[in-house]
Amino acid sequence: MLVLVAPGQGAQTPGFLTPWLDLPGAADRLGAWSDAIGLDLAHYGTQGDADQIRDTAVAQPLLVAAGLLSASALGDITPGAVAGHSVGEITAAAYAGVLSDDDALRLVRKRGLAMAEAAAVTETGMAALLGGDPEVTAPHLEKLGLTPANVNGAGQIVAAGTKEQLAALEADKPEGVRKVVALKVAGAFHTHHMAPAVSQLEEAARGLDTADPRITYVSNRDGGTVATGAEVISRLVGQVANPVRWDLCMETFKELGVTALVEVCPGGTLTGLAKRALPGVKTLAVKTPDDLDAARTLVAEYS
């Protein structure tokens, strides 16, 4: 069984959309989405520098657009399940048929703007902890006032909070943690700092036409599968202020009998986690169109 997954914020790099615009119809699709959301996706995805595409309001639509372009380039496939990490959940929802591609881009544009606005209230950020035992790390973070915002499995936790709290973490690492690595994000996502964005997303979601998932949809909230479009949207809205439990998503992949995992563009992060947490599962990260043939072969074998 194959699961198709979509990465979250921080996976973007300068120029990462450039090779995708050479695919038939890709530039036209990107142009239409850009017009619909008032953001020049082609410009930022090909010419934006690291600081420009770190901007939450820019990064999130770029990631969803890249995920949808690369997933559609795989052809007419039907994976056994789909999931996305953080903003990647919107990519997964569109691929599962819960949202149209256009509505997915409109929603993620509002999500990015709302989260950027919430992040501007206090100087906050996120940092990955390398090494350590999650059972030791979690109470240490709580002591420092930090939130384990991403519990990613394979022993990886991402902490989120104010810049002062993150500096304190750097100076006082939990036992066993080798290094604290700041992430390329502009706020403490998936924490109480994002609570103001939830009400804005609730309002944006009211006007969406949704359908029930046509593919098994695995949620970041608790790793559970979600059967209705209304519940998918409700979880997408609330998730911005709650921790991502990718560890539980991967546990669900095991329970579903997943044997292969393909990560859409810009792939790499989730396949890395899967290699450590899902031994025996074949993985492939789609980074450029050069990866499509290998991905199609894997899809044909495991779908």
Known catalytic residues?
86, 190
Token code pair at residue 34: 């850009």
Could you report how far apart the first and last alpha carbons of the chain are, in Å? 6
Residue 5 φ/ψ, nearest 5 degrees: -125, 155
CB 213, CB 206: distance < 8 Å: no
Sign of CA dihedral 276, 277, 280, 285: negative
Residues composing the chain: 303
For residues 282 and 79, give the distance between their C-alpha atoms in angstroms, rounded to a whole number: 14
* Helix boundaries (H) for 9-146: 26-37, 41-47, 50-54, 56-73, 88-95, 101-119, 134-143
CB 254, CB 96: distance < 8 Å: no
